[in-house]
Structure 1
Amino acid sequence: MALRLYSALGKRTGHEQALPRPAEERVGAPSMPRTLDMPAEVRESGPRAIDQNAEGGLRALVAADPSFDVAQFVDGAKSAYRMILEAFWKGDRETLTWLVEDEVRDTFVAAIDAREAEGHVVENRLVSIERASISNIEIDGRVARVTVRFDADIAMVTRDADGNVISGSMSDAVETHDVWEFSRDLKSGDPNWKLSDTDEA
């Protein structure tokens, strides 16, 4: 998949709605450590934790890494989704460095640089993650790639250097649909999964 970066890292459907409860209440937003360590048991967090067409890839991944756990991975991916979005919106380059692969980081930083050069400030907020599920799993040599689809509601506001609203509203949420790929070298001692690609669903 080609890396594609959107102003909110999401696809706007045109459907806006009143804000539901904050994401902190609905998703739990556990603080994510710098690693997505997986316990040994293989289990799922519900019928939508992994799509049926990813089950073959799951078997191959578990064979290569018996510690992989679907539910823990999806929970970690939700936390990573939140942290990466917030880091991008805030222009937090350091956080992006340890959460995403270099190529993705370079793209994010270029977008942040362009935004800052224009004097624009985003005040986006992840309101809720309605759904997160593994849609594909591949093993390429020693590298595992797990693709997760996120359906979320995001409040989006962009202001100019004078604080004037250019676009968006904090009183409405926009439906977004993202497909993010996380990867990890299975032979490495580093247990971290990093964002290696983004696309829209």
Structure 2
Amino acid sequence: MIELVIYALLAAFIFSRLYNSLGRSASLNLKKLTGILDVSQSKEDVVENIEDYIYSNDKSSIETTYEQILQKNKEFSISNFIEGSSIAFELIIKYFNQGNLPQLKSLLDKDLYNSFVDKIKHRKETHESIIVSIVSQKILEIKLVKNVIFIAVYFLSEQINFVKNNEGNITSGSMSTINKVEDVWQFKKNINSSDLTWLLVSINYKKASTDKNLTTNDN
């Protein structure tokens, strides 16, 4: 019996080391993602310095909206949202490359999902994007419309981009060149909903006064 316990502990330790070394995105599933996008904190009050996550010329407006959100849901967490949105960024790109509509449906707003369906059904070539790393990630805008939160997130990522034809041959791009790619994605969630998932509303969302020089000023 003691030997079985020792083997079980050893197996758990090895799995933990493998998980950490291989990275999160390789083994994440939607259940894990939903748990992170829950953005809930522990029962203890945690004061977050949201300035660490914001890049905007109008920080005061974002901070005011953040306070309004906390009045409706005191467990809302910017740091957990940031972690979850980075995972969603990688998963959505991966599932789009695969044409995996069932997985995409649970992560996208209805209108954006329909757009993805149309693109996947009619594409003659496959645009592949492999995420090497997310270099930088900042919140550009937070809006609260009634009980729905909209958060626009800037991503600077390193990607390998190429295009394949139906025969699987690369027609443009390269599998050995790493490109820096900028995106602004907008997510939404009803603050009172029992559904924990945030949905992606738009890609390359245009903020009214989008801040410049993110690549040079961001860490």
User: What fraction of aligned residue pairs are identical, expressed as a percent?
Assistant: 24
Alignment partners' CA distance in 1, 2:205 and 2:181:
8
Higher strand share: 1
Which residue among 52, 72, 84 is the counterpart of 1:64?
A: 72
CA 177–25 in structure 1, closer or farther in 2 if over 3 Å, else same: farther
For 1:132, give the aligned amino acid.
Answer: Q
Shift of 1:64: 1.8
CA 199–173 in structure 1, closer or farther in 2 if over 3 Å, else same: same
Encode CA deviations 1:25-48: one digit per residue, 9 max, x unaligned.
79753724334112333425883x
Q: Which has the higher contact order (CA 8 A, sep 6+)?
A: 1
TM-score, structure 2 length as denominator?
A: 0.72
Which residue among 99, 117, 140 is the counterpart of 1:135?
A: 140
CA 80–109 in structure 1, closer or farther in 2 if over 3 Å, else same: same
Map of 2:211 onto structure 1? none
Higher helix share: 2
- Structure with higher Rg: it is 2
* Structure 1 segments unaligned to the other structure (5+ residues): 1-23
Tell me if 1:50 matches 2:51: no
Encode CA deviations 1:111-164: one digit per residue, 9 max, x unaligned.
11121xx2x234421111001111111110111111111111110111112222
The correspondence of residues 70-89 of structure 1 with structure 2, limited to 5 A, is 70-89=78-97
Map of 1:4 onto structure 2? none
Maintained 8 Å contact 1:84/1:96 = yes
* Structure 2 segments unaligned to the other structure (5+ residues): 1-19, 207-219
TM-score, structure 1 length as denominator?
A: 0.78
The correspondence of residues 1-201 of structure 1 with structure 2, limited to 5 A, is 28-29=24-25, 31=28, 32-35=32-35, 36-40=37-41, 41-44=46-49, 47=52, 49-52=53-56, 53=59, 54-115=62-123, 118=124, 120-199=125-204
Alignment partners' CA distance in 2, 1:127 and 1:96:
21
RMSD value, Cα: 2.4
